[in-house]
Structure 1
């Protein structure tokens, strides 16, 4: 019936095209209409509908088992090969990025589930499919939130038998959801799921504590060190001047004149904004706005004065490298805070570069380094 048909036994036939239509939430009638033009040679409508009805019945019978992938993988009710089971699990837990973009950062509760009608209207994805994707997220969250002994990605792979790439995506989504990071601020409306997933990955890698808790949390020691650095650096003009000069010299060797032209007057404000953002991560109410703050206080300010993403990359790389060379700052401080300085700068650099795009077709409204 389909060029994508996969036969796993005489008892169970999985048709990839029909499976996809079922996952998308199409009814039997809708699926029949969709598939009819592709069937060669043509078959009577009633034959195709009967075939699709049989396929749907099989998937509905598997539905409950797919909520518990490890149980599904070990059951013998459906005589499927190991690879077929893995494929079904992966497809069932796949998602539409447009749907997750509308859910991202919200609580995974009954109220959000009730609002999925709005997600359906915005994305055009059928409500049945929206509910499947939401329920999958909630199911994964509930399963891993109390687990210990593995990283979040490892635990999702273990509990749900998902391929590594998909487990990583779920991990980043859950990290954003668990920390309630705001992705709906007007300034952030131009960004897609992939942008936020990338930012979640960066935050998890550079700004969370190394613990065996499955759901990682922002590192309070990093936040404390940044607060200390803010006091040490911003209150010492000699440190600021030397760091600025060292970064200028570093950039002059890299041939980045647009950065050099603006660094002298803007350096202290950039430094202050960067350290202030780092201080947010241990404040639950403030950390929710961290992506918006990076976009507002750094990315938009760089855009306004004509910096490019290449300039930003060079500037942050120089800032990370020259900290240890700043003699005006006591060596004990450079040794104590050096690692967390690099963690802070690297996280901000990667996120800033990713968010470096025009928010809409409109120009950026009046924003400045002094915000």
Structure 2
């Protein structure tokens, strides 16, 4: 009895987004097949387990061949071997460079070196992120860092242009790169309640206000703190003793922050105490260790001591205070 088989041949590369995510998450083929079985896909398609395994393996092979292009997304866009529609290309790139917040929180501020990579086994156990996924994310961080570290121009724009990421993801990578370069301490126990989003917001304020690119457009470097700016902060000690200058500082800061933070009244009422703590932090930032411990000092001297700050808004206030001081 003759068997009939319908075959369709095309040159468009088929991408199953669910299987792609399983691959990105670091699951083996067998684990991915089991997860697809549990999703009830066989009931939807009428296929057998052997077909499902073959389909999963085929997708995995495709992703492995595409991966070398994803390392440098411009190559994926320009190549002709894989016929992938532009919207699918964007999806592949965006998901490949996406990261788990639990993982990035563990490596934020650490040097992106072999030494840190050796700790990925422990980080995988701690966060529940598969080791393969941890390695992919770490390698992505390191790759982006190496490409943009010596580039002039806006950090976010450089990342977008070279890796074709969305604006939000590019800003997150800018924060990761900035922290890796500046080596701020973020791993201490007293900082554990702070999320990556908290630190990313802080990084954005620092890049916009305290770096060489922010202070001098001719330098146009967003990754390095402006040493002259930090040195000038030593002159702020006069605010502790000169009441007239303190009043001017308070006026400038309150004008800038009125209506913008939800702890404005508390900040205004406790301004002298907050200003003194801030000045002490600012005048110490000429030393590398004090720069690294900047966030620890903020938590100890600004947040815990005064007990009025909501972290989501506090750094915006702190950044505005320093800008107000320097006016």
Answer whether contact 2:155 2:222 (CA < 8 A) is retained. Answer: yes
- CA distance in 1 between partners of 2:147 and 2:117 (Å): 18
CA deviations on 1:204-245 (whole Å, 9 max, x unpaired) are 122223244444222233323321122x222335545x5699
Answer whether contact 2:181 2:223 (CA < 8 A) is retained. Answer: no
Alignment partner, residue 174 of structure 1: 177
Number of residues paired by the alignment? 304
Alignment partner, residue 28 of structure 2: 27
SS in 2 for 1:282: coil
Structure 1: any 5+ residue segments left out of the alignment? Answer: 1-8, 321-339, 346-371
Alignment partner, residue 227 of structure 1: 234
CA deviations on 1:123-180 (whole Å, 9 max, x unpaired) are 11100000000000000000111122x2111111111111111111100111111100
Structure 2: any 5+ residue segments left out of the alignment? Answer: 1-9
Out of 125, 147, 162, the position equivalent to 2:129 is 125
Answer whether contact 1:108 1:177 (CA < 8 A) is retained. Answer: yes
Q: What is the CA RMSD across the aligned residues, in angstroms? A: 3.2
- Is the counterpart of residue 217 in structure 1 residue 217 in structure 2? no
Alpha carbons of 1:155 and 1:341: their partners in 2 closer, same or farther (altered >3 Å)? closer
Out of 150, 158, 164, the position equivalent to 1:155 is 158
Out of 101, 113, 138, the position equivalent to 2:142 is 138
- Is the counterpart of residue 96 in structure 1 residue 103 in structure 2? no
Alignment partner, residue 36 of structure 1: 37
Answer whether contact 2:303 2:309 (CA < 8 A) is retained. Answer: no
- Is the counterpart of residue 342 in structure 1 residue 324 in structure 2? yes
Answer whether contact 2:249 2:325 (CA < 8 A) is retained. Answer: no
Alpha carbons of 1:260 and 1:172: their partners in 2 closer, same or farther (altered >3 Å)? closer
Answer whether contact 2:124 2:130 (CA < 8 A) is retained. Answer: yes
Alpha carbons of 1:214 and 1:167: their partners in 2 closer, same or farther (altered >3 Å)? farther
Answer whether contact 2:184 2:292 (CA < 8 A) is retained. Answer: yes
Answer whether contact 2:105 2:195 (CA < 8 A) is retained. Answer: yes
- CA distance in 1 between partners of 2:309 and 2:298 (Å): 16
Alignment partner, residue 114 of structure 2: 110
Alignment partner, residue 7 of structure 2: none
SS in 2 for 1:14: coil
Alpha carbons of 1:44 and 1:177: their partners in 2 closer, same or farther (altered >3 Å)? same
- CA distance in 2 between partners of 1:144 and 1:260 (Å): 38
- CA distance in 2 between partners of 1:222 and 1:235 (Å): 22
Alignment partner, residue 242 of structure 2: 236
TM-score, structure 2 as length reference: 0.82
